Amino acid sequence: MATQSITSATSATTAQHRPHPNRLVGSAATYIILAVLAILWVIPLLWALDTALKHESETTLVPISWFAPSGFTLNAFIETLSSSDLPRWYFNSLLTSAVITILTVLFASLAGFAFSRIPFRSKGFFFWLILAGIMVPGQILIVPLFTMMQSLGMVNTYWGIILPQLASPVAMFIFKQYFDGIPQELEDAAVMDGASRLRIYWQIWMPLAKPAIAAVAIFTFVWSWNNFIWPFLVITGTNMMTVPVGLATVQTSYGIRYAQIMATAILGGLPLLIIFIFFQRQIVQGFVGTGLKG
């Protein structure tokens, strides 16, 4: 075991200078094991990229090889972007995810603000009523939800995708908890000035809640962008599909064109990978803080 090879001799004195002193000096073995596993973890992605960069005719050569006899090419990517529905799916995903994110932040922060800062008698009842929703498993509601959407005429519409994804008890809870942690003094001054609750919420509390807004916005966006089962059910036309739903149809519609399928898969995952690399810390913390939604 790697853990055994890490010497317990790490002195307490060096450790005291670091913020997280339980990071002992890693031994070479720790690095080697991690490196091997990390490589194992990225190989599927690298193989997909490798395939996407090959000429279509060389993707199925046996024995398999990471190298392409006649060199690598961007053809598959160019073809995917120019002749497939992917750009349209990007647009659909971006639009629905953006609307879901904005409305979730708005609705959840309003409710979180009320539960944290407004003394009203039915507060406890509504708070627990909404919070109990955390326990409802989403996949189980698909059948009645679809029947509902059908009778509302929302099948194959953007609202059909958006509306069922707006009720987020987790987001509400994050805002409530964040508002609970802010001292009261600022607001008291505003109340003296006779400002309305809505102005206090919008001009004082929301600017203070930027970290909570960022966390909720990022995880809501990633979550709704990746949601598969619901858009898959409610969308029937190719031009209304979101990226995950559209990609699910690629395999059958392209046939055995592996370079293009892999180029599509990579392009489909790319926006989130880029967002992830830029907002690594916030995304990870967002998911940790909202573990329940996973």
Partner 1 sequence: MSDTSIQQSIVQRGSRAEEVSTQRPSRFSPRWRNEAVGVGFVLPLLIVYVLFLLWPIVLGLRMSFFNWSLVGSGSGNFLGLANYQEALSDPNFWGALGNTLIFTVMSTPILVILSLFLAILVNRVRHVRWLFRIAFFAPYILPVSVMALIWSWLYEPGFGLLDGTFAQLGLPSVNWLTDTHVAMLSIVIATVWWTLGFDFVLYLAGLQQIPHEMYEAASLDGAGAWAKVWHITIPLLQRSTILIIILQVIASLQVFGQMYLLTGGGPNFTTRSVVEYIYDTGFTDFRVGYASAMSYLVFIVILVISVGQFWILSRQGRND
17-46 residues in contact with partner 1 (CB under 8 A) are 20-26, 30-31, 33-34, 37-38, 41-45
Residues of span 213-232 touching partner 1 by CB under 8 A = 222, 225-226, 228-229
Instruction: Indicate the residue type of 48.
Output: A
The least CB distance from residue 71 to partner 1, in Å, is 19
The least CB distance from residue 68 to partner 1, in Å, is 13
Query: Looking at 78, 102, 186, 248, which residue binds partner 1 (CB under 8 A)?
Result: 248
Residue 258, interface with partner 1 (CB under 8 A)? yes
Distance CA(97)–CA(90), nearest Å, equals 10
Residue 245, interface with partner 1 (CB under 8 A)? yes
Binding-site residue total for partner 1 (CB under 8 A)?
128
Residue 2, interface with partner 1 (CB under 8 A)? yes
Q: Which residue number, 240 or 243, has a Cβ lying nearer to partner 1? A: 243
The least CB distance from residue 230 to partner 1, in Å, is 10
Query: Looking at 69, 71, 91, 180, which residue binds partner 1 (CB under 8 A)?
Result: 180
Residue 77, interface with partner 1 (CB under 8 A)? no
